[in-house]
Structure 1
């Protein structure tokens, strides 16, 4: 499999945090990127930034070689030994981005490629700084009960307490222009509630335009159960974020 580079520089970056990737993840990335490029409105080189968040043996030299051979200069690999969490990993990757537009998603590319193309197109056509993927009701049929309850609780907090412009803060597909990316780099949450922190920061930043875009999951996506220890940590992070709202 090979990827052509019709323009002298990439216009779109995709940042993927990697901690516990599924089997065949590297080949799946290449297939998904190939599908995505056929859906973009014009031929757009896509620069992949992969961040190994202390994944140890889950990421092999063969995986990296496969991606490097296929993507060439459109592939950047960031790795470090200790797991810090998704928020930390995304900041590490997004700090490397040079392209004018940037998306992040999960290592298994769980959202339909046409949804990713729609987020990118909305960024370009609207001039928005941040485009937030918003999941429909069908999403909740795919997640374990504990995750479903946490997601719905966060939506209520977003709507009634924080009054943010986008109710679904936790969708794992978001897009940024350079201004939105710089705001993302100001977040500090290490693990899962970095999205909520980001949108709270955006709501307090003058002239920051945030738009939503409906997105769809791929069929057959399986979500992991919430680790009780992580749930406790994220509860602490939620309280910290809420206290920043009153500061």
Structure 2
């Protein structure tokens, strides 16, 4: 399998159908083999039924079901670890970063990166429909703290469009434990601590007004940043002690 596309989903019956049709059409037109894995995170709407029906029409589409809502991080981690592709990409169900932005990420991996992450905040990034002002302020505030405390040099940690080599995915996600929205921070921080090369790539991005991100998640984001820094420093101390 050349490419595995992992899409986490929680109550996405209103959005995921067109996204799946679009990504399947794009990938099926290319010569590389692929699989699309929708990881349902305990949805209470018709997400599973809808994806199951589409799987009968779209070869290579599969759905994994969780009995309870565990969080986006849990869903992505589960998908990454059951995937079989040489490259493993996760993308959001709303398709805010369109699948035709895939090739720049693949090129970064081919050039030697272990992880290629889409970015909304580079000079060449194209945001065709920006977030509301309060979400932009929130996002930039989180990123400023993240760059200062945990991931210096990474402009956009939370864009839901990230590609991993199979080896990088298995090494990184096996060690991760964060189930919620801050899982991106843990993935990238652990990858950097392990010496994996992360390449940020400008992408086209369009805000979906139905985004599930909420301002009330901000304090939890900050707690995760500092907790992760503490955990990684402890790992570094143990490693230096062994050496």
Q: TM-score range by the shorter chain?
A: 0.7 to 0.9
Assess if the C-alpha contact under 8 Å between 1:11 and 1:44 holds in 2.
yes
- Shift of the 217–163 alpha-carbon distance from structure 1 to 2, 3 Å rule, reads closer
Unaligned runs of 5+ in 2: 235-243
Whole-angstrom distance in 2 between the partners of 1:58 and 1:147: 28
CA distance in 2, matches of 1:163, 1:53: 28
Match of 2:62 in 1: 76
Q: Could you state the TM-score of these two structures normalised by the residue count of structure 2?
A: 0.83
Q: Is the 8 A contact 2:116 2:162 kept in 1?
A: yes
Residue equivalent to 2:21: 30
Superposed displacement of residue 221, structure 1 = 3.0
1:131 aligned partner: 116
> How does the TM-score come out when normalised to structure 1?
0.82
Gaps of 5+ in 1: 1-9
Which of residues 161, 171, 176 is equivalent to 2:164? 176
Q: Is the aligned partner of 1:103 residue 2:89?
A: yes
Provide the aligned length of Structure 1 versus Structure 2: 230
**TM alignment of 1:82-97, pairs within 5 A:** 82-97=68-83
Q: Please name the residue that 2:233 is paired with.
A: 246
- Matching residue of 1:222: 209
Q: Tell me the alpha carbon deviations over residues 180-210 of structure 1, each in whole angstroms, 9 at most, x when there is no partner.
A: 102133211111111111111122113x111
- What do you get for the CA RMSD once the two structures are aligned? 2.4
Match of 2:240 in 1: none
Please report how far the alpha carbon of residue 55 of structure 1 lies from its aligned counterpart in structure 2 after TM superposition: 0.8
| 1:10-31: CA deviation from partner (whole Å, max 9, x where unpaired) | 3000000000315252243122
Q: Which moved more, 1:177-186 or 1:44-53?
A: 177-186
Indicate whether 1:12 and 2:17 are aligned.
no
CA distance in 1 between counterparts of 2:63 and 2:221 reads 28
Find the aligned partners of 1:63 and 1:37 in 2 and give their Cα distance: 17
Find the counterpart in structure 1 of residue 238 from structure 2: none
Match status 1:162 vs 2:150: yes
SS at match of 2:92: coil
**What CA distance in whole angstroms lies between the structure 2 residues aligned with 1:129 and 1:226?**
28
Mapped partners of 1:156, 1:28: distance in 2: 31
For 2:220, which of 196, 221, 233 is the aligned residue? 233
Q: Is the 1:103–1:175 Cα contact (8 Å) retained in structure 2? A: yes
Which whole-Å CA distance do the structure 2 matches of 1:160 and 1:80 have between them? 35
Write the distance in 2 (CA, Å) between the matches of 1:168 and 1:63.
Answer: 30
1:212 aligned to 2:197? no
- Among 15, 34, 42, the residue aligned to 1:54: 42
Instruction: Give 1:88 deviation, angstroms.
Output: 0.5
